């Protein structure tokens, strides 16, 4: 890997610098800035003459990944990014400027402790950059010497790669988003239907016990304050925001919320981050699950740990003791006495789940499915399955399991019905690669006719703003 130059008319290329990447020409065309790795060292920021001579190391950045650099309009200074870690082990980046005079001093011009990954330097003496300082990844502009930034863009998705015209009156950038929305699949006719039309992630849907409502997790990847539960009608209409108050905890949509038997309450997970006193740079996550009464708007803590499932009769819970523990092991206990486990259930291949009649816990390993009694934890039944089969949900009839079957020859997954009586498999439909169809990603309607799931799509757009100031 190295830097090469070639005529715009074509011809033979000529190597300028070895072991270098991400070159940026200075506006006057006399210099090149780039990242180069010296033997036995990490990548650092260098500049050189346009012909590759007179190489100078600008600063020792030691980046965890490559960053953009930007020249000042007069080619006399260079802006770059440095990466830092907060005491909570969260990465953030700041913009620094180095002038090419007799001084080797770097000036830090941002101090937000947020993520910045791209920027440009306008001829007006301003720096345009993207940042999470407002929540989403939006574009901001600030004086080249520092100062209060002004927000330029708003809306869903991440705004990246800002580039400004020479006259600084036109701005072009890329808006990236990967929204997920709810879809249904009629398991009989194979017809699909989109229920929600959001520009954020709408994921982890669960039908209510009577099938009239849906609860899902609405997640904005760049803004925690926009993460919350939503309850809507089964057709996606009448969405209602649900934000239970859990002091000192942060709402968590994963594993998904569970409905109470009467549909009047939901059980959900939350977490908090605690700094270890002996080592301020270490963070420990603690999880707990709660019950929230929808009408009374009352929330109470049930137990520490992560809730995986609630039995259909509402008596039993399956939970992991803590999010830092082994994820394949869940604790079976009465909901009223979670501190007194009946048994630990291990399900290495797919998460443990309750059977429809609430009498068993279904687990899966390399040999197949096991049904463990909720009363004594003993194995009641085993069903041998293909090593390419993954359990999703039991059908409401209790006689079959909805699952996915991987076809290595075709490199795809199919939705299948596994009959528990004899272990035979009936193919239902092929699963789209962007569809989140797995045990925590979808739900079956109480009548067994409809599969509810989320599907992701990518939306990348080039946006041009005229007179953006």
Q: What is the CATH number of the domain that holds 171?
A: 2.120.10.30
- Looking at the structure, tell me whether residues 346 and 288 fall in a common domain: yes
Tell which of 177, 209, 227 closes a domain.
Answer: 177
Identify the pLDDT of residue 183: 95
Q: What is the pLDDT confidence band of residue 2, given thresholds at 50, 70 and 90?
A: confident
Long-range contacts: 319-323, Cβ < 8 Å, 24+? 319/289, 320/287, 322/285, 322/286, 322/287, 323/271, 323/285, 323/286, 323/287
Q: Does residue 466 lie in a domain region? A: no
pLDDT at 268 over 70: yes
- Looking at the structure, tell me whether residues 213 and 341 fall in a common domain: yes
Q: What is the mean pLDDT of the chain?
A: 89
- Looking at the structure, tell me whether residues 271 and 418 fall in a common domain: yes
Most confident of 64-78, 265-279, 448-462: 448-462
Q: What is the mean pLDDT of residues 37-65?
A: 78
pLDDT at 459 over 90: no
Q: What is the pLDDT confidence band of residue 399, given thresholds at 50, 70 and 90?
A: very high
Nearest to 81 by CA among 26, 129, 149: 129
Q: Does residue 369 lie in a domain region? A: yes
- Looking at the structure, tell me whether residues 117 and 88 fall in a common domain: yes
Tens digits of residue pLDDT in 69-86: 999 999 999 999 888 888
- Looking at the structure, tell me whether residues 348 and 404 fall in a common domain: yes
Identify the pLDDT of residue 90: 81
Tell which of 148, 177, 206 closes a domain.
Answer: 177
Identify the pLDDT of residue 162: 94
pLDDT at 104 over 80: no
- Looking at the structure, tell me whether residues 171 and 205 fall in a common domain: no
Query: What is the domain count for the chain?
Result: 2
Q: What is the pLDDT confidence band of residue 426, given thresholds at 50, 70 and 90?
A: very high
In this structure, are residues 68 and 82 in contact, taking their beta carbons and an 8 Å threshold?
Answer: no
Can you spell out the DSSP letters for 228-269?
A: EEEEEETTS-S-EEE----TT-EEE-SSPPEE-TTSSEEEEE
Residue scoring higher pLDDT (333 or 324): 333
- Return the structure tokens found at 425: 């498999």
Identify the pLDDT of residue 458: 81
Q: Does residue 209 lie in a domain region? A: yes
User: What percent of the chain clears pLDDT 90, i.e. is strictly above it?
Assistant: 62
d(CA 412, CA 427): 13
Q: What is the pLDDT confidence band of residue 434, given thresholds at 50, 70 and 90?
A: confident
- Looking at the structure, tell me whether residues 303 and 434 fall in a common domain: yes
- Poorest-pLDDT segment among 16-20, 42-46, 50-54, 194-198: 42-46
Number of other CB atoms surrounding residue 10 within 10 Å: 7
Q: What is the torsion angle, in degrees rounded to the nearest 10, for the CA atoms of residue 215, residue 216, residue 220 and residue 223?
A: 50
Residue with tokens 């079976």: 332
- Return the structure tokens found at 428: 């239902």
Q: What is the torsion angle, in degrees rounded to the nearest 10, for the CA atoms of residue 161, residue 457, residue 222 and residue 89?
A: -90
CA 140 to mean position of chain CA atoms? 24
- Looking at the structure, tell me whether residues 29 and 160 fall in a common domain: yes
Long-range contacts: 69-72, Cβ < 8 Å, 24+? 69/22, 69/24, 69/33, 69/45, 70/24, 70/119, 70/120, 70/121, 70/127, 71/24, 71/25, 71/26, 71/27, 71/33, 71/121, 72/27, 72/97, 72/121, 72/144
d(CA 207, CA 226): 22
How far lies 261's CA from each of 149, 196, 208, 248, in Å?
51, 26, 9, 28
pLDDT at 62 over 70: no
- Looking at the structure, tell me whether residues 261 and 304 fall in a common domain: yes
pLDDT at 381 over 80: yes
Q: What is the mean pLDDT of residues 280-301?
A: 87
Q: What is the mean pLDDT of residues 194-203?
A: 92
d(CA 200, CA 334): 36
- Poorest-pLDDT segment among 254-268, 277-291, 435-449: 277-291
Identify the pLDDT of residue 323: 57
pLDDT at 261 over 90: yes
pLDDT at 49 over 70: yes
Q: Does residue 380 lie in a domain region? A: yes
Spatial CB neighbours of 430, under 8 Å, sequence gap ≥ 6: 412, 413, 414, 415
pLDDT at 278 over 60: no
Q: Does residue 467 lie in a domain region? A: no
Tens digits of residue pLDDT in 122-160: 999 999 999 988 878 899 999 998 889 999 998 777 899
- Poorest-pLDDT segment among 149-153, 271-275, 452-456: 271-275
Identify the pLDDT of residue 277: 58
- Looking at the structure, tell me whether residues 101 and 201 fall in a common domain: no
d(CA 3, CA 34): 9
Identify the pLDDT of residue 326: 52
Q: Does residue 464 lie in a domain region? A: no
- Looking at the structure, tell me whether residues 275 and 151 fall in a common domain: no
Q: Does residue 379 lie in a domain region? A: yes
Tell which of 152, 177, 202 closes a domain.
Answer: 177
pLDDT at 119 over 80: yes
d(CA 203, CA 142): 36
Residue range(s) defining the domain that contains residue 88: 2-177
For residue 453, what are the β-bridge partners? Answer: 183, 442
Q: Does residue 463 lie in a domain region? A: no
- Looking at the structure, tell me whether residues 206 and 301 fall in a common domain: yes
How far lies 262's CA from each of 2, 244, 275, in Å?
66, 19, 39
In this structure, are residues 76 and 99 in contact, taking their beta carbons and an 8 Å threshold?
Answer: yes
Q: What is the pLDDT confidence band of residue 312, given thresholds at 50, 70 and 90?
A: very high
Residue with tokens 């630990």: 344
pTM of the model: 0.74
d(CA 75, CA 77): 6
d(CA 17, CA 50): 10
Strand blocks (E) in 62-125: 70-71, 77-85, 91-99, 106-108, 119-121
């Amino acid at each position: 890997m190295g830097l090469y130059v070639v005529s715009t008319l074509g011809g033979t290329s000529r190597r300028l610098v070895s072991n270098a990447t991400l070159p940026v020409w200075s506006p006057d065309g006399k210099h090149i800035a780039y990242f180069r790795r010296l033997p036995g060292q990490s990548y650092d920021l260098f500049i050189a003459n346009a012909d590759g001579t007179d190489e100078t190391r600008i600063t020792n950045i030691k980046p965890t990944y490559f960053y953009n650099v930007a020249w000042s309009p007069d080619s006399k200074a260079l802006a770059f990014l440095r990466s830092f870690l907060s005491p909570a082990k969260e990465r953030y980046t700041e913009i620094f400027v180095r002038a090419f005079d007799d001084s080797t001093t770097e000036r830090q011009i941002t101090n937000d402790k947020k993520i910045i990954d791209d920027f440009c330097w306008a001829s007006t003496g301003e720096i345009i950059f993207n940042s999470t300082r407002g929540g989403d990844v939006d574009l901001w502009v600030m004086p080249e010497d520092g100062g209060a930034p002004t927000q330029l863009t708003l809306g869903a998705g991440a705004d990246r790669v800002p580039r400004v015209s020479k006259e600084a009156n036109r701005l072009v950038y890329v808006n990236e988003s990967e929204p997920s929305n709810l879809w249904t699949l009629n398991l009989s006719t194979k017809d699909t239907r989109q229920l929600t039309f959001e520009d954020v992630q709408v994921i982890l849907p669960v039908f209510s016990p009577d099938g009239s409502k849906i609860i899902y997790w609405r997640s904005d990847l760049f803004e925690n304050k926009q993460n919350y539960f939503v309850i809507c009608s089964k057709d996606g209409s009448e969405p209602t925001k649900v934000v239970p108050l859990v002091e000192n905890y942060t709402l968590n949509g994963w594993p998904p919320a569970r409905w109470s038997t009467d549909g009047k309450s939901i059980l959900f997970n939350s977490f908090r981050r605690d700094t270890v006193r002996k080592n301020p740079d270490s963070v420990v996550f603690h999880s707990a699950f709660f019950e929230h009464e929808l009408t009374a708007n009352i929330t109470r803590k049930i137990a520490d740990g992560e809730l995986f499932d609630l039995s259909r009769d509402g008596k039993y819970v399956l939970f992991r003791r803590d999010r830092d523990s082994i994820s394949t092991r869940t604790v079976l206990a009465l909901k009223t006495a979670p501190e007194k486990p009946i048994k630990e259930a291990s399900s290495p291949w797919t998460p443990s789940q309750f059977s429809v009649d609430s009498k068993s816990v279904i687990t899966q390993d390399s040999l197949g499915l096991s049904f463990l009694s909720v009363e004594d934890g003993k194995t009641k039944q085993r069903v041998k399955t293909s090593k390419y089969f993954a359990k999703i949900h039991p059908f409401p009839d209790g006689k079959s399991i909805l699952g996915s079957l991987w076809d290595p020859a075709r490199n795809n997954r199919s939705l299948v019905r596994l009959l528990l009586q004899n272990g035979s498999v009936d193919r239902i439909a092929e699963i789209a690669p962007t569809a989140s169809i797995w045990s925590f990603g979808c739900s079956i309607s109480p009548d067994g006719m409809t599969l509810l799931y989320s599907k992701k799509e990518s939306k990348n757009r080039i946006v041009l703003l005229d007179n953006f100031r």
